Amino acid sequence: MDKEKVFRQCTTFCILFAFWILLSGYLDAFHLIAGAVCSAIVTFLSYDLMITKHKRGGVFKLLRFTFYCGWLFIEILRAAFDVAYRVLHPHMPIDPQIVTFETPLSDDITRTVLANSITLTPGTITIDVDGGTYTVHALTSAAARDLMDDRTIEKRVTCIFQDAP
Amino acid sequence: MIALSNLLTVLLIGLGLFFMIAGPVGLIRLPDFYTRAHASGKCDTVGQALILLGFIIYEGFTFDAIKLLFLILFIYVLTPTATYAIVRAAYVLKYVPWKRGGERQ
């Protein structure tokens, strides 16, 4: 048994058990033991899914990610207002188009975050991700231009997940 | 204090309901599959989140409030993923996107 594996199993077990307590809300012996047994079974089956690699700078990454979530929340509100405005407008000012672009991002998690962020920000949804090539459906030409030229989202996502020094 | 939190709750739930109504209206009015995915994907996410946020403020800091907070987080991860999955399915099946001036589908 190597140290890395034990560390991963322990962390996964603790997270799962904390989540169980949070969801059950009961603190008597029966529920705690049932939770511990269930967490142990799930840990045994899938400990290598939750924590894949032990990297440095995880705390900073988490902090940057939290800030990013705050920014994203405002963007999502803007997106919903934008769609609601276009839908309720009598003439429906939309001009949909499909655009493709390349990113140099290589990590799976980074790509997933970028794809989901594109879907949630104003006027764009991700259709397909193939390697580093993104196919995006834009509701207006302004949204498409934003994505292709400014690349704000891509810069921000790259900024979070770059490795800390 | 109670009046203020109640007011905020009503405000948030009202705003959430506005988005929840705008989503289906978009579903009916927009011309094709892809643009409809825009309406249901965004308006529903924000609508649900705002309504749940209203519940959290009404509930105060309890176990149930934390559960609702987790619900919001899960919705934020799952909605874009589900939208992506169905839109990609349409794209793979060569569904032609609507262009300006085209026929409604």
Residues A8 and A82 in one domain: no
For residue A118, give its domain range. Answer: 58-161
Give the pLDDT mean for A12-38.
87
For residue B71, give its domain range. Answer: 2-92
pLDDT of the residue at B1: 63
Q: Cβ–Cβ of B66/A97 closer than 8 Å?
A: no
Q: How many domains does chain A have?
A: 2
Single out the residue of A48, A81, A50, A65 nearest to residue A116, CA to CA: A65
B105 in reach of chain A (CB within 8 A): no
Residues A103 and A139 in one domain: yes
CA distances (Å), origin A21, targets A15, A26, A37, A44, B93: 10, 7, 13, 19, 44
d(CA B46, nearest CA chain A) in Å: 7
By C-alpha distance, the chain B residue nearest A118 is B80
Whether B97 is covered by a domain: the verdict is no
Whether B101 is covered by a domain: the verdict is no
Residues A98 and A148 in one domain: yes
pLDDT tens digits for range B23-42 = 888 888 888 888 888 888 88
Residues A107 and A31 in one domain: no
By C-alpha distance, the chain B residue nearest A97 is B99
Backbone angles phi, psi at A102, to 5 degrees: -105, 145
pLDDT tens digits for range B91-104 = 888 777 777 767 77
Whether B100 is covered by a domain: the verdict is no
d(CA B6, nearest CA chain A) in Å: 22
Enumerate residues 6+ apart whose C-beta is below 8 A from A121.
A72, A75, A76, A78, A79, A153
Single out the residue of A162, A135, A84, A96 nearest to residue B47, CA to CA: A84
Please provide the size of chain B in residues.
105
Q: Percent of chain A scored above 70 by pLDDT?
A: 92
ipTM score here? 0.78
Mean of per-residue pLDDT scores for chain B: 85
pLDDT tens digits for range B33-87 = 888 888 888 888 889 889 999 999 888 878 888 888 888 888 888 888 888 888 8
pLDDT tens digits for range A74-129 = 888 888 888 888 888 887 788 888 888 888 777 777 888 888 888 888 788 888 88
Residues A103 and A155 in one domain: yes
CB A136 within 8 Å of CB A156: no
Q: What is the CATH number of the domain that holds A156?
A: 3.30.1370.10
